[in-house]
């Protein structure tokens, strides 16, 4: 979790209808992580459950996303941010999310793409926008997003709306764009930006694009209107 993804999540919360109860997959607030990891604070007063396969801060239910204890059709919104790259059988996790979501439910998922191998406890997968779109075909409307260079995206995300969900209209999508521009930021410290700009002048832009374009983002709506 980083400031950009937290801002993206805040934009989703303030733009679209996310029904309760809320279920966060991968909710463990890892020691040493920034406060941005605690996305529960974006849902004050909501029925919210944090799930992780390890006990600890932010975890209300210890379970694997490959075998969730929640009843079928019992959850309104599922959040899984920077989580599925750590799930061994990610396809089973996607199936479990679909099982527990109500027909009017919403699934918000994000994963890094161009990012170093990291633990918690192991790192298995990377997902392109097309991968998320393929895995989320059962959801009739899918808002795909990505940020960074077009071919070396830092993160990919999707907001997937169930068959009976309150579908986004043009006004809510425009609100989302505005909120993204307002919240989804992770500026480089000035000294690092200066270093990358100097490297760009010496070696060309391509090697430094993931850093220089870290706040560039785009999105696309897929599925039936």
Phi/psi for 5 (5° steps) reads -65, -35
Which H or E run includes 218? strand 217-223
Residue 114 or 73, more confident:
73
DSSP states of 85-140 as a string? GG-TTHHHHHHHHHHHEEEEEEEEEEEESS-----SS-------HHHHHHHTTTSS
Compute the average pLDDT of residues 28-37: 74
> Cα-atom radius of gyration of the chain, to the nearest Å?
17
pLDDT, position 33: 59
Mean residue pLDDT of the chain comes to: 91
Mean pLDDT across the stretch 139-144? 97
CA–CA separation, 150 and 27 (whole Å): 29
Identify the three-state secondary structure at position 42.
helix
* CATH code of the domain containing 207: 3.40.50.150
Q: What residues make up the domain containing 162?
A: 3-223
Distance (Å, whole) CA 137 – CA 47:
27
Q: State yes or no: pLDDT of 209 exceeds 70.
A: yes
Q: In this structure, is the dihedral angle defined by the CA atoms of residues 118, 115, 147 and 2, taken in order, positive or negative?
A: positive
Mean pLDDT calculated for residue range 61-67? 96
Q: Give CA–CA dist 63/46, Å, rounded.
A: 21
Lowest mean pLDDT of 13-17, 62-66, 114-118, 220-224, name the range: 114-118
Please give the average per-residue pLDDT across 193-219, as a whole number.
85
Label residue 196 left, alpha or beta by phi (over 0 means left) and psi (-120 to 50 means alpha).
Answer: alpha
Judge contact between 30 and 37, C-beta under 8 A.
yes
Total tally of structural domains belonging to the chain? 1
What pLDDT is stored for residue 191 in this prediction? 86
pLDDT bucket at 225, cuts 50 / 70 / 90: low
pLDDT at 119 over 80: no
- Work out the pLDDT band at 34, boundaries 50, 70, 90: low
């Amino acid at each position: 979790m980083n400031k950009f993804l937290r801002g993206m999540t805040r934009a989703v919360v303030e733009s679209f209808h996310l029904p309760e109860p809320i279920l966060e997959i991968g909710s463990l607030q890892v020691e040493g992580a920034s406060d941005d990891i605690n996305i529960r604070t974006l849902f004050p007063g909501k029925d919210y459950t944090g799930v992780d396969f390890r006990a600890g801060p932010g975890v209300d239910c210890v379970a694997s996303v490959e075998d969730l204890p929640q009843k079928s059709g019992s959850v309104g919104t599922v959040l899984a941010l920077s989580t599925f790259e750590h799930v061994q059988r990610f396809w089973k996790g996607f199936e479990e999310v679909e099982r527990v979501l109500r027909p009017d439910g919403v699934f918000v998922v994000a994963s890094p793409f161009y990012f170093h191998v990291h633990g918690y406890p192991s790192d298995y997968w990377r997902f392109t926008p097309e991968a998320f779109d393929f895995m989320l075909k059962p959801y009739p409307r899918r808002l795909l997003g990505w940020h960074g260079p077009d071919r070396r995206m830092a993160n990919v995300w999707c907001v997937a709306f169930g068959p009976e969900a309150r579908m986004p209209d043009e006004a809510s999508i425009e609100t989302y764009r505005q909120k993204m521009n307002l919240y989804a930021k992770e500026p480089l410290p000035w000294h690092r930006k200066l270093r990358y700009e100097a490297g760009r002048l010496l070696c060309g832009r391509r090697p430094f694009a993931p850093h220089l374009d870290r706040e560039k983002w785009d999105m696309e709506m897929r599925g039936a209107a």
